[in-house]
Every structure is written in C-alpha cells, then in structure tokens.
C-alpha cells in the first residue's frame, strides 16, 4: 500500500536462506551421529541411586524441529549455556540420550553446587529475574521445610534430599557463559570446543564448568 515500506525478497535471497537452514540441519544431524558414536563415558548399569547432576544446553539449535525445542524449553533451557540441576540416575540418563546433540549432563561436585547456589543463583520475583543473595528470600519461600539459607539449599540439593524439587524449583536457570566476540570465536574455537563435550559426561562435568563459569 502507498506510504508503507514494502520489502520484496529476491529469489536469490530465498535460495540463500534455504541453504543456510539446510546446512544447519545437516550440521545437527552430524552432531547427533557424533553424540551417538561417543562411548568414552559409560552409563552406569544396574544402579538407580539418585545423584545430583547438572544439564547444560550447549547448542542453540535454531533450526531443529519443534519437538526438540519444546523439550528443551520444558527443562528450562531456553538459551545456549543455560543450566539446571537435576536428579541423575540410570533412568534419567537414558531419557536424556535423545538430546545428546544439544545438552551436556553429568555429576556435579559439592564445590560447583556451592559455587552455583552462592554466586550464580537467580529467582523469579513477580516476573523479574532477581539474584538470590538474601537468605530472607530463601526463608520466606522454603522456611516451612526447614530450609533457611543458601547453605541449607546447597545441602538439600547436593544430597538429593526430600526437598530437592522445592529448592531447584525456586531457582531460575543458571546463565553460565557470557557472550564472547568474533575474535575469540575465530582464534580459540571456544564454542566448538564446548559443543564437542555434549552427552553424558559422568564426573567430567566439572571440567565443562571450569570453562563456562
């Protein structure tokens, strides 16, 4: 219509966008095959012991199918390098296998549970993401369960006690890595290095956290 800024795409632009999308899909298919072929870390068999773990989104997956995106969002992993605590046992690890191209997951040490809760924790306050640094917030939300401070949360989460879900439910997803510039991407291949660490990592999760904290 007259007076409106009408943008018309040229045929070569449609072709370019199609090629970009197809190239991305092929890249993700390669990552899925690579993740499936990795056998350096074996999933423990015959034990259903519940252990605290961390799952980290390591790929944006912009062009992946809607079902995968929905599953990642339901886990609270909306962006690359977001992370959530979870209970890891044999069944949980098997359930995450289909997402190996998009996430890294493994056991997290007490050192890093403490680091995340004390220094990286946020919570949702009436729609606003706020840093969780005040023990009064913890007491107000979880005091009825005997959890009065951040250190109580660390103990509850690391030992997977009965109020694990209540504690992790208070926490927003962790944002682990700050964006880096083109120089670092080109010179250090930082993102590629992280993405190669996907899938079940067992006790090596701490090695990934050293890179993104």
pLDDT at 90: 87
Whether pLDDT at 40 is above 50? no
**DSSP string covering 124-173:** EETTEEEE---HHHHHHHHGGGT--SHHHHHHHHHTT-TTHHHHHHHSPP
Asked if residue 58 is part of any domain, the answer here is yes
Asked if residue 78 is part of any domain, the answer here is yes
- The DSSP H or E segment spanning 85 is strand 82-88
Asked if residue 127 is part of any domain, the answer here is no
The domain that holds 198 is classified in CATH as: 3.30.1390.20
* 120-157 core/surface letters (b: 16 or more CB in 10 A; e: else): bbbbeeeeeeeebeeeebbeebbeeeebebbebbbbbb
Asked if residue 140 is part of any domain, the answer here is no
Asked if residue 184 is part of any domain, the answer here is yes
Could you tell me which residue, 112 or 29, shows the higher pLDDT?
112
Whether residue 86 contacts residue 167, with contact meaning beta carbons closer than 8 Å, is answered with: no
* Domain total of the chain: 1
Could you tell me which residue, 87 or 188, shows the higher pLDDT?
87
pLDDT at 114: 96
pLDDT at 107: 93
Asked if residue 206 is part of any domain, the answer here is yes
pLDDT, tens only, 102-146: 899 999 999 999 999 999 999 998 889 999 999 999 999 999 999
Q: Is the alpha carbon torsion for 19, 23, 24, 28 positive or negative?
A: positive
pLDDT grade for 62, boundaries at 50, 70 and 90: confident
Asked if residue 83 is part of any domain, the answer here is yes
Distances (CA, A) of 171 to 2, 75, 150, 206: 51, 13, 11, 20
| Contacts of residue 35, Cβ cutoff 8 Å, sequence gap at least 6 | 100, 101, 198, 199
Could you tell me which residue, 66 or 191, shows the higher pLDDT?
66
Asked if residue 188 is part of any domain, the answer here is yes
DSSP at 97 = G
3-state secondary structure of 66: helix
Q: Which domain holds residue 88?
A: 51-121+172-212
């Amino acid at each position: 219509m007259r007076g409106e800024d009408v943008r018309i795409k040229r045929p070569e632009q449609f072709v370019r966008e199609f090629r970009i999308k197809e190239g991305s899909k092929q890249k993700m298919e390669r990552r899925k095959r690579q993740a499936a072929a990795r056998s350096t870390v074996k999933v423990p068999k015959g034990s259903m012991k519940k252990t605290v773990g961390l799952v980290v989104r390591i790929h944006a997956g912009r062009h992946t199918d809607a079902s995968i995106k929905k599953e990642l969002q339901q886990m609270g992993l909306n962006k690359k390098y977001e992370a959530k605590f979870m209970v890891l046992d044999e069944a949980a690890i098997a359930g995450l296998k289909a997402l190996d191209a998009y996430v890294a997951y493994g056991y997290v040490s007490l050192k890093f549970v403490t680091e995340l809760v004390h220094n990286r924790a946020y919570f949702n306050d009436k729609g606003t993401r706020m840093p969780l640094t005040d023990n009064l917030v913890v007491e107000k939300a979880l005091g009825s369960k005997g959890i009065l401070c951040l250190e109580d949360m660390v103990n509850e989460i690391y030992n997977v006690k009965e109020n694990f879900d209540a504690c992790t439910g208070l926490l927003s997803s962790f944002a682990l890595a700050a964006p880096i510039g083109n120089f670092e991407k080109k010179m250090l291949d930082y993102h590629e290095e992280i993405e190669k660490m996907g899938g079940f990592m067992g006790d090596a999760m701490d090695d990934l956290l050293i890179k993104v904290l």
